[in-house]
Chain A
Amino acid sequence: MFEIVRKNKRITGFIVFMFIALIAVIVYSVGYVSSMDMYLMIPLALIISIITSIGTYYYSDRIVLAVSGARPADDKEFKYIKDNLEGLCIAAGLRTVPRLYIIDDSAPNAFATGRNPENAVICLTTGLLDKLEMYELEGVIAHELGHIKNYDILISTIATVMVGMIALLADWFTRTMFWGRDDDDSGGGRNPFLLIIGILLIVLSPIIAQFMQLALSRNREYLADATAIEFTRNPNGLINALKKISDDKEPLEAANKATANMYIINPFKEREQMTWMQRMFATHPPIEDRINAIQNIH
């Protein structure tokens, strides 16, 4: 079981490495193809991207709660859930218990947010509490706790910053292309073939970057599933919960596209078989794959 967790973390490392490699390739290509001053552009793109993301990251708990219309869970009414959450935190080695919030919606779903484990929030819908057995709820809560312990909000923010940076560089590049380049640069020994490849790469880079971000998101979902089993030692809880939640056809009213990828199951995803394209750009792996992965944990 710990092996699976380690394997998923290695995959994360690989994706991050590919991200950095992509950035390096883009930076080199832009420098090669255009006359942009890369010593200025790279830090600038990075800084702008960080600035646009930092507010959302730092206040992620407050923002998401406000957008979703969640209310703090009353101690008496939800004591049994809070007890379970505290127990799972002990199993997880988390010192601070995440705050529990409730969304009044009959569609079953859950999410976790917060910039670090000390400022974390777990949110459950009333639909989830009504429709799931206790041992299944435990699996869902453990999954969300897994996201918190693994710093997934931070990781996805970093991914967003990198995507933003690549998008900015690609955008600036296309602008300089339109305005034309300095004449004293052209003919400076540039291979036209490489030029075309470079331009192609730069134009495609935002899509490639986004694909990598989504691959990362799927990878962290698998990791959260594995971490959940590490906490509960009961694969059936999470498996049955995933089945019940995905079988439920009710739309989640509180969700919008900005928050969709944080829920345990994407509230907007197609229920039928996904095409190859849809799988590549999905935030969550397909349910059957997740269930198979969990069953492979022993």
Chain B
Amino acid sequence: MGWIVGIIIAVLIVWLVLMYNGLVRLKNMVENGWSQIDVQLQRRFDLIPNLVETVKGYAAHEKELFENIAKAKQSLINAQGVAQKGEASGELSNALKSIFALSEAYPELKANQNFLELQQELKGTEDKISFARQFYNDSVTRLNQQIDMFPTNIVASIFNFTKREYFEIDTPEARGPVKVQF
């Protein structure tokens, strides 16, 4: 009779270990996802000075644009935590979009080889930010789900696993209707 209890306890322990390890795995995926976002944000950040220099060569008087970029860069440096970084990242994306839209008015800029390469690089990086954000948000969903659902919620609260925030790139314009102007 005693050994049946022993087996039940053993199975229970194994189950608890599996749940705990599952939570650890999910938490690490979230951490990894966040660092991926950081890597891509940094990469984009590093490309910007070169871009600004190239554009200044053709459109030095577009002061407002350069100010927006500088402001957005500063926001990103100051940003703490997921929500702020999301907002700052959105600001920077918008500022960059304006620069590329600008190139339409300056055909020599558009033809500049350096500019084209930078444009391609930045587009690639924006895409990767998008993918990284998707992976991060998916991982957060999975982790939060396990933290909420029974019976893993018990293990989660014992070992203090906390729910994480989603990475929202929130700019008011992104939420509004898209204006297409020709």
Interface check A90, CB cutoff 8 A: yes
Interface check A185, CB cutoff 8 A: no
Label chain A's interface by main secondary structure. helix
Q: List the B residue with the shortest CB-CB distance to A95.
A: B32
Binds A, one of B4-12, B73-81, B92-100, B125-133: B125-133
Measured between beta carbons, the chain B residues less than 8 angstroms from A233 are: 134
Q: Is the CB of A90 within 8 A of B131?
A: yes
How many Å from the CB of A78 to the closest CB on chain B? 13
B-contacting residues, A60-103, CB 8 Å: 79-80, 83-84, 86-88, 90-93
Interface check B161, CB cutoff 8 A: no
Q: Is the CB of A87 within 8 A of B135?
A: no
Output the residue of A83, A88, A90, A92 with the most chain B CB within 10 A.
A90
Size of interface on A: residues with Cβ below 8 Å to B: 12
How many Å from the CB of A94 to the closest CB on chain B? 10
Interface check B36, CB cutoff 8 A: yes
Q: Is the CB of A91 within 8 A of B124?
A: no
Output the residue of A83, A84, A86, A233 with the most chain B CB within 10 A.
A83
Partner pick for A90 among B29, B120, B132, CB 8 A cutoff? B132
Measured between beta carbons, the chain A residues less than 8 angstroms from B36 are: 90
Q: Is the CB of A93 within 8 A of B127?
A: no
How many Å from the CB of A232 to the closest CB on chain B? 9
Q: Is the CB of B29 within 8 A of A86?
A: no
Output the residue of B32, B36, B120, B135 with the most chain A CB within 10 A.
B135
Label chain B's interface by main secondary structure. helix
Q: Is the CB of B131 within 8 A of A87?
A: yes
In the bound complex, what is the Cα–Cα distance between A263 and B32 (angstroms)?
32
In the bound complex, what is the Cα–Cα distance between A92 and B33 (angstroms)?
10
In the bound complex, what is the Cα–Cα distance between A77 and B132 (angstroms)?
25
In the bound complex, what is the Cα–Cα distance between A87 and B132 (angstroms)?
8
In the bound complex, what is the Cα–Cα distance between A90 and B132 (angstroms)?
6
Q: Is the CB of B29 within 8 A of A87?
A: no
Q: Is the CB of B135 within 8 A of A90?
A: yes
Measured between beta carbons, the chain A residues less than 8 angstroms from B130 are: 87
Q: List the B residue with the shortest CB-CB distance to A90.
A: B131
Partner pick for A88 among B29, B33, B40, B131, CB 8 A cutoff? B131
Given A83-B127, A84-B127, verify A91-B134 contact (CB < 8 Å): yes
Measured between beta carbons, the chain A residues less than 8 angstroms from B124 are: 80, 83, 87
28 A-B pairs (CB sep. < 8 Å): A79-B120, A80-B120, A80-B124, A83-B124, A83-B127, A83-B128, A84-B127, A86-B128, A87-B127, A87-B130, A87-B131, A88-B131, A90-B40, A90-B128, A90-B131, A90-B132, A90-B135, A91-B131, A91-B132, A91-B134, A91-B135, A92-B135, A93-B29, A93-B32, A93-B33, A93-B135, A93-B139, A233-B134
